[in-house]
Each structure stands twice: as structure tokens, then as C-alpha cells.
A = this chain, B = another copy of it.
């Protein structure tokens, strides 16, 4: 399917979004977290998808919405218990993604030992660019990612700084969650996360391959 001529095929029928937390050392540190010894996984529902031309809605009660720019990996082929050395064969392509996070909800969840579902999965919490076929990014382990809020550069990182690389993530996740075609993995964010307020414009890009611009406003 497409919107505005852009290809977002996996958005229409993909059933799972698996997020990876703390997958860049400097980002783990900036939030006061240790670098994990195994991937930290969370889920967003597909109802969280949003694309350029729509807007990011600050959920009710949230006073600290944060941006996290990430490389999204789109799964093309279903499977479970995927060996690392076959993992790349399961990838259909990539997207630039924003893992929007209600940081205040997340802080409350962390403190109380409660799920992250609301903090990570609210409507519009997963902004995605158009789909990039896998051939577009021959080496996903070395791609620049950047994000601006209005005119200010907030994040400027490179996927080479991931703690767990893409084949490891696919293999690890598939031991617990079987993959289906159209699933998305959010591979974690580099440092520089911070607040997005009512009326801000977020711009983000993946090398010179794709960029997007999206507005935020309060839900009510």
C-alpha cells in the first residue's frame, strides 16, 4: 500500500513491533541505565504507527514526550529460533523510525515495576518513513541517523555503535517471539533523546537515503 506515493506495505498487515531498549552505550548512560547484558525487549501494537502527513499526538496525561530516532528492520519472512548466521535472510528492508516514548509514564513504570506498554505503545508512538528495500542499505551496521527538533540537531549517531547488532537481535527475539512477515524491529536509539512539545516539528533522516518531518500536538 502507499500514501502520498510512498510505500508503507508492512504497516497495513504487520502484527508486531518489537522495540529494543538501551542498545547504544551513550544512550543507556544518558538515562542513568547500565549497558544490558542481553537485549531489553518491549512491544508496541500496530495501532501505534504514524507517518509523515499525520501528526504525533502527546497522550493524555503525558508531560514528557521524548523522541528516539532509530533504524527499523522490516521482516519479510516468518520464522522462529533463527540462527544468527541466517538472520539477514529474514529482512525485507528498513525504515527510519521514531520510537516516541512517554518518559514520565516510563519512569513511573520503572519505579513501580509495572509494564512499559502505555509508555511505549500509545497511538502515534511509532513514526515510520517509507520502506527502503534491503538492497538500499548493503551495510545496516554502519548508517548515520540524525534527528532535529525544530532547527536544533538533537541526535546524530551511527548504527555501528549498537550494543547488540542486527543479526543478534533477530536471533534473540525469534527465540521468544516468532516472526511473521511485516513485523518491525526498532533497534534502539543513539544518545541525545529529549522532549518534544506541542507544536514542535521533528525532522529525522537515515544517511542520505530517507528523511521525514512530522509535527506534534496535544491529543486533546
Contacts and interface: CB of A to CB of B under 8 A. Distances in A.
Interface of A: 13-16, 18, 21, 40-48, 59-60, 80, 109-111, 113-118, 120-123, 175-180
A47 B113 contact: no
A21 B109 CA distance: 13
A76 to B, nearest CB: 16
Nearest to A62: B176
B43 A117 contact: yes
A110 to B, nearest CB: 3
A21 B115 contact: yes
Nearest to A114: B40
Contact of A122 (B40, B114, B120, B176): B176
A110 B110 CA distance: 8
B115 A15 contact: no
Nearest to A105: B176
B113 A115 contact: no
Given A41-B117, A113-B111, A115-B41, A16 B47 contact: yes
Contact of A16 (B45, B59, B120): B45
B47 A117 contact: no
Contacts of A16: 45-47
Chain B CB within 10 Å — which of A44, A114, A117, A180 has the most? A117
Contact of A176 (B59, B109, B177): B59
**Interface hub of A41, A47, A80 (most chain B Cβ within 10 A):** A47
A118 B41 contact: yes
A44 to B, nearest CB: 8
Contacts of A120: 115
A178 B18 CA distance: 18
Contacts of A18: 45, 117
Given A15-B47, A16-B47, A60 B175 contact: yes
Given A41-B115, A43-B45, A115-B115, 18 more contacts: A14-B15, A15-B15, A16-B46, A16-B47, A18-B117, A21-B115, A41-B118, A43-B115, A46-B180, A47-B177, A59-B175, A60-B175, A110-B113, A115-B117, A115-B120, A121-B176, A122-B176, A122-B177
